[in-house]
Chain A
Amino acid sequence: MTENLFELKKVSKSFVKAKETISIFEGLDMTIKAGDFIAIMGPSGSGKTTLLNLLGGVDQPTSGEIHFDGKRIDNLSENGLAAWRAANVGFIFQFYNLMPMLSAAKNVELPLLLTGLGRSRRKASVEAALKLVGLDDRAGHLPKEMSGGQQQRVAIARAIVSDPKLMLCDEPTGDLDRATADEILKMLQLLNREFGKTIVMVTHDPEAAKYAKKTLHLDKGEFVKEELMA
């Protein structure tokens, strides 16, 4: 099974900043297979986050096409993209981005509020997701009552609770110590291997990249090297 989940065709992206146009990508082609776990590395400013934003449908290309599961997403409306993200993407952020006033369980429940599931079904899904990340005993805790690693695990539970195919992670261990980072990365690996999640992870940490199946090196908006892991 090597069907393509993503196809990027001649994708260009530029920003206009102080009347100057900064081009990040020019005619980038890329394919991502379903079930892959890709690490993207590269120097700061090379366009890693911009690429992740394009894949996640939170930003749109200046030109070119992005196909997901055979359907174009680059020309969707803002609401169309929001609905697409809700159905297909789980995001993991460097700084966890949990809602500080909500308990772990309430944070994990957020994506389910977009689904029309009833309260008891939502509760069951939240419990399952928290159990998977090993935090079923912390359901009632607020983010500030948890360590960074625990908060990132809550964020992972939030990303998978509605069972999306795709997980996009921007420096998911950038704010964590080595041991905690390894724990998180093992969890992502498990989600990829056991649950078939396609994962694209931006990182500057070569150790983190080792958990992926493949590492792409990005420089000045172009892929310069591809490494396959053992």
Chain B
Amino acid sequence: MGSLISQINAVVAMNVKSLPQRAWMSAATVFAVAIVVAVLLAFLAMANGFQATVAGTGARDVAIAMRQGAQAEVNSVLMKEQVDLLSAGPGIAKNETGPIVSAELYVIVDGIKKASDTKANLPLRGLSEAGMKMRGDLKIIEGRMFQPGTNELIVGVGALKEFEGFELGRELTFARSRWTVVGVFSMDGKVAESELWADIGSVQSLFQRGNSFQTVRLKLDDPAALEQLKAYNEADPRLKLDIKSEADYFADQASGMSDLIMYLGWPLGIAMAFGALAGALNTMYTSVASRAREIATLRAIGFGGTAAFVGTLAESMVLALLGGLIGAIAAFLFFDGITASTLGGSFTQVVFSFKLSPALIWQAAVLALIIGFIGGVFPAWRAARLPVVVAFRAA
């Protein structure tokens, strides 16, 4: 047993020391694995960042109500009567002016993306003072809040960064009317940072929405009060709205998109992994062939097949791990924290950052090790089965 370990140590050390003789092929394998890992990590970081931005957005004690089957804010329509009726329901938190509710409009406007110089949809949200108060993370970081009843708007930091012409003081034309940017807001990295906000009354009149809304947010006494409100809503045929906690709403919105990223990312990563695997197998079979006489000589001296097997497998794993490490470092340097924007669930742009995590890097490392293992195990088997008489053949 001690002998087996010293055999294996010696053979592994020999293989690793002789790597420079096979430098180019080995480097190609390392590179292929690095690319696979970097691409996979890019997708995973994208999905992770998107998930963090969107899913982290909603509150548990805020309910959001939409027309039945609307799925997303943009598809919903609510009448003033419905909003008033729902606001009279149970479980809603109250202050001196009554129930804390925010009826909102959510209209789509055009913006020009800085990165691609192309048009993209952007949400303009109309809301009232109650709506602002419901969003605890809201911070005006430049300029000031819009004045109710005016054509003023404030812009989220994400939208400002990704789109043309939303700087403080700029004038814009939406719905054939002029708007002025008077402030910039942040919201702790949440989805709303990709939006423009204006007074609900102004949006209603300038976008000809009469006295209609799209969604209503209701501050609950506590998260458990959601069930009472739902029961009240179901009992009244004039309502029959879809009601969810804001947290669930955003989680649903996020899952579609991150599924897309996942179902694209993993298959692409695995397809590329097969390519890298073919390269690794080729490299390792070549390595075994070029070391055939050395392996056979060791066997003639009395070394076991196990040592030859482990030595070859170790070489393959070392190459794959090196590739994985380089890929992860590259992903970290090039992708981690970069900002991207993409279509969110409501056909509007959501701005988010790529986010790597130890768990994701671990997943990619496992993929690299699988490539190294499969790429090494068959050539290692050949090395272990190599006839010893090869040692006596000419070079």
Q: How far is the CA of A189 from the CA of B14 in the complex (A)?
A: 33
B305 at the interface (CB under 8 A from A): yes
Given the complex, which residues of B lie within 8 Å of A158, measured CB to CB? 301
Q: Report how far A168 CA is from B336 CA in the complex, Å.
A: 62
List which B79-134 residues lie within 8 A (CB) of chain A: none
Contact A97 B17 (CB under 8 A): no
- Which residue of A is nearest B304, CB measured? A82
The reply to whether A93 and B297 contact each other, CB–CB distance below 8 Å, is yes
Given A82-B304, A101-B17, also A113-B3 (CB < 8 A): yes
B389 touching A111, Cβ below 8 Å: no
Please name all residues of chain B whose beta carbon is closer than 8 Å to the beta carbon of A93 when the two chains form the complex.
297, 391-392
In the complex, how many angstroms separate the beta carbon of A190 from the nearest chain B beta carbon? 22
- Answer whether residue A83 sits at the interface, using C-beta atoms and an 8 A cutoff: yes
Known: A58-B388, A86-B302. A101 touches B18 (CB 8 A): yes
A119 to B12 alpha-carbon distance, docked (Å): 18
The smallest C-beta distance from A74 to any residue of chain B, in angstroms, reads 15
- Cross-chain contact of A170 among B10, B301, B392, B395 (Cβ < 8 A): B392
Question: Which residues B7-66 have CB closer than 8 A to chain A?
Answer: 7, 10, 14, 17-18, 21
Of all chain B residues, which has the CB nearest A78? B305
Provide the A66-101 mask, 1 if CB < 8 A to any CB of B, else 0.
Answer: 000000000000110011011100010111010111
B40 smallest CB distance to A (angstroms): 34
Interface pick from A23-31, A48-56, A211-219: A48-56
Q: Known contacts A53-B389, A91-B391; is A79 also within 8 Å of B293 by CB?
A: no
B392 near A99: Cβ-Cβ < 8 Å: no
Q: B146 an interface residue at 8 Å Cβ cutoff? A: no
User: Once the chains bind, are B297 and A97 in contact (CB under 8 Å)?
Assistant: yes
- Tell me which residues from 95 to 129 in chain A have a Cβ below 8 Å from any Cβ of chain B: 95, 97, 99-102, 110-111, 113-116
A91 touches B14 (CB 8 A): no
B298 near A95 (CB under 8 angstroms)? no
Asked if A59 is at the interface of the complex by the 8 Å CB criterion, the answer is: yes
| Nearest Cβ on chain B to A217's Cβ, whole angstroms | 20
For B, the interface residue count at a CB cutoff of 8 angstroms equals 26
When the two chains form their complex, are residues A91 and B389 in contact, meaning their CB atoms are under 8 A apart? Answer: no
| Residue numbers in B under 8 Å from A78 (CB-CB) | 305
Of all chain A residues, the one with the shortest Cβ separation from B19 is A101
Return chain B residues, CB-CB under 8 Å to A91: 297, 300-301, 391
B17–A53 CB distance below 8 A:
no
Which of A82, A116, A170 has a CB less than 8 Å from the CB of B302? Answer: A82
Q: Give A3 to B294 CA distance when docked, in angstroms.
A: 35
Are B14 and A114 in touch, CB under 8 angstroms? no
For B7, the chain A residues whose CB sits under 8 A away are 113-114
CB-CB under 8 A for A100 and B389, given A78-B305, A79-B304, A86-B301: no
Across the interface, B394 reaches (CB within 8 A) one of A52, A82, A95, A113, namely A95
Contact in complex: B14, A82 (CB < 8 Å): no
- Report chain B residues within 8 Å CB of A52: 392
Q: B214 to nearest A CB, angstroms?
A: 72
Q: Which B residues are in CB contact (< 8 Å) with A95?
A: 293, 394-395
- Which residues on B sit within 8 Å (CB–CB) of A82? 299, 302-304
Residues of B within 8 A of A102 (CB): 14, 17
Contact of B301 among A53, A59, A85, A101 (CB under 8 A): A85
B6 at the interface (CB under 8 A from A): yes
| Bound-state Cα–Cα, A42 to B180, Å | 103
A-facing mask of B304-321, CB < 8 A → 1, else 0? Answer: 110000000000000000
Contact A114 B392, beta carbon cutoff 8 Å: no
Decide yes or no whether B2 CB sits under 8 A from chain A: yes
> Which of B21, B301, B388, B394 is the most central at the interface, judged by chain A CB atoms within 10 Å of its CB?
B301
CA A94 to CA B395, docked complex, whole Å: 10
Contact between A113 and B293, CB atoms less than 8 A apart: no
Contacts of B18 in A (CB 8 A): 100-101
Query: What are the residues of chain A within 8 A of B14 when measuring CB–CB?
Result: 99, 101-102
- Which residue of chain A is the closest to B306 with respect to CB atoms? A79
Among candidates B300, B389, B395, residue contacting A85 with C-beta atoms closer than 8 Å:
B300
Distance between Cα atoms of A78 and B304 in the complex (Å):
9
Q: How far is A131 from B18 in the complex, measured between Cα atoms in Å?
A: 27
Residues of the A chain whose Cβ atoms lie less than 8 Å from the Cβ of B304:
79, 82
What are the residues of chain A within 8 A of B294 when measuring CB–CB?
A: 97, 99-100
Tell me, in angstroms, the Cα distance from A22 to B297 when the chains sit together: 26
| Residues of A with C-beta under 8 A to B299 | 58, 82
By the criterion CB–CB under 8 Å, are B10 and A58 in contact? no
Q: Which of A49, A52, A95 is the most central at the interface, judged by chain B CB atoms within 10 Å of its CB?
A: A95
- CA of A119 to CA of B3, assembled, Å: 12
Contacts of A87 in B (CB 8 A): 302
Query: B3 — which chain A residues lie within 8 A by C-beta?
Result: 113-116
- A171 to B394, alpha carbons, bound, how many Å? 11
Given known A82-B304, A110-B10, contact A59–B298 (CB-CB < 8 A): no
13 pairs of residues in contact across A and B, judged by CB atoms under 8 Å? A53-B392, A56-B300, A58-B388, A58-B391, A82-B303, A82-B304, A86-B302, A91-B391, A95-B293, A97-B297, A110-B10, A110-B303, A115-B3
Chain A to chain B: the 4 pairs with minimum beta-carbon distance, closest first? A86-B302, A58-B388, A101-B17, A97-B297
**Given A58-B299, A102-B17, 4 additional A-B pairs, CB 8 A:** A78-B305, A91-B391, A93-B392, A113-B3
